[in-house]
């Protein structure tokens, strides 16, 4: 069975990630796989780089023995901390209702974990910011861009707190990822039952309008209440303004495209949009 795979750390966003996961699990009647990755920060060696000539042989050996023990203690503490984070997060989830939660503690890094767990993942949930970033609005998680690039599953990037989840904005550009997003939404999605605003930013030419209208009709046939928006201007400010003005609870993007909106999903501009929009973002590969 596929899981909602949820990655948590010790950041202030962990609680929000848990709440988003419970919301998704209840809507899809799907189990949660809760994962904490013991990354390189937990595995940094204390051994000195080179003490040749600086210490006598006996002193160097004694020091290295002490540092090796310290590394072992740090590794043990890292695992204990990771297990505590998982246990607390699972308890928070189970307290919110009847959800199935399993936990997993992994060594390595987030990117490799995302790839290795993809066969059992329906979609993944991660926080917008990690432990190093906290709530600073100008900082995003250092792994976020790499995680979004590497994932072949949809990724829900949780914001600071779970909202009402009554409506979403779908930034549609007619590219392959946008079309796959339409297919997934039509087949059945965590967004079922939410009102949909579909937005294309670009020239108001018949071809552009026609593709957006076709996507909107497909969503209507699947049961969505859809409002269409065709706006001129650069995609990033247009989308950011629409999220705020329409008061939506979530933003939906495709990871890549073939038009001017492609710039949103390549490199730093993706992060600018994630930073600017104060709602969770669901990104389709």
Q: From CA 50, how far away is CA 43, in angstroms rounded?
A: 19
Check pLDDT > 90 for residue 61: no
52 in Cβ contact with 26 (< 8 Å): no
pTM of this structure: 0.83
CATH superfamily ID and name for 3-42+78-156: HUPs (3.40.50.620)
pLDDT at 270: 61
Candidates 154, 152, 149, 239; CA nearest to 190 is 154
13 in Cβ contact with 20 (< 8 Å): no
Collapse the DSSP code of 81 into the 3-class scheme (helix H, G, I; strand E, B; otherwise coil) and give the result. helix
Q: Determine which of 10-14, 165-169, 207-211 has the lowest per-residue pLDDT on average.
A: 207-211
pLDDT at 40: 57
Sequence ranges of the domains in the chain:
3-42+78-156, 163-284
Candidates 260, 196, 252; CA nearest to 231 is 260
Phi, psi (degrees; rounded to nearest 5) at 205: -95, 155
Does domain 163-284 fall into CATH 3.40.50.620? Answer: yes
User: What integer is the mean pLDDT of 159-179?
Assistant: 91
Q: From CA 219, how far away is CA 193, in angstroms rounded?
A: 11
% of the chain surpassing 90 pLDDT: 52
Check pLDDT > 60 for residue 42: no
Collapse the DSSP code of 229 into the 3-class scheme (helix H, G, I; strand E, B; otherwise coil) and give the result. strand
pLDDT at 192: 94
Q: From CA 88, how far away is CA 40, in angstroms rounded?
A: 23
Burial level of 170, CB count in 10 A (0-12/13-18/19+)? buried
Q: From CA 200, how far away is CA 222, in angstroms rounded?
A: 20
Tell me if domain 3-42+78-156 and domain 163-284 are identical in fold: yes
Check pLDDT > 70 for residue 191: yes
State whether the Cα torsion 81-87-93-99 is positive or negative: positive
pLDDT at 263: 46
Q: What is the dihedral of CA 14, 27, 181, 149, to 10 degrees?
A: 20
């Amino acid at each position: 069975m596929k899981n909602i795979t949820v990655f948590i750390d010790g950041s202030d966003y962990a609680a929000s990630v848990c709440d988003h996961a419970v919301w998704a699990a209840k809507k899809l009647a799907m189990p949660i796989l809760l994962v904490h990755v013991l990354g390189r920060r937990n595995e940094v060696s204390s051994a000195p780089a080179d003490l040749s000539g600086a210490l006598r042989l006996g002193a160097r050996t004694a020091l290295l023995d002490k540092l090796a023990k310290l590394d072992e203690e740090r590794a043990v503490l890292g695992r204990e901390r990771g297990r505590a984070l998982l246990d607390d997060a699972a308890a928070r989830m189970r307290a919110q209702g009847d959800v199935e939660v399993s936990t997993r503690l992994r060594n390595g890094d987030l990117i490799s974990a995302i790839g290795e767990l993809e066969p059992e993942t329906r979609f993944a949930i991660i926080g917008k910011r990690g432990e190093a970033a906290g709530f600073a609005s100008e900082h995003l998680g250092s792994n976020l861009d790499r995680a979004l690039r590497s994932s072949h599953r949809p990724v829900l990037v949780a914001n600071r707190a779970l909202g009402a989840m009554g409506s979403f904005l779908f930034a549609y550009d007619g590219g392959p990822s946008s079309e796959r997003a339409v297919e997934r939404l039509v087949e059945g999605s965590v967004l079922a039952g939410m009102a949909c605003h579909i937005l294309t930013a670009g020239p108001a030419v018949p071809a552009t309008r026609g593709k957006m209208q076709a996507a909107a009709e497909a969503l209507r046939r699947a049961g969505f209440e859809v409002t269409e928006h065709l706006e001129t201007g650069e995609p990033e400010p247009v989308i950011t303004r629409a999220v705020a003005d329409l008061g939506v609870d979530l933003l939906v993007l495709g990871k890549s495209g073939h038009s001017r909106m492609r710039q949103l999903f390549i490199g730093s501009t993706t992060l600018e949009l994630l930073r600017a929009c104060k709602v969770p973002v669901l990104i389709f590969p």
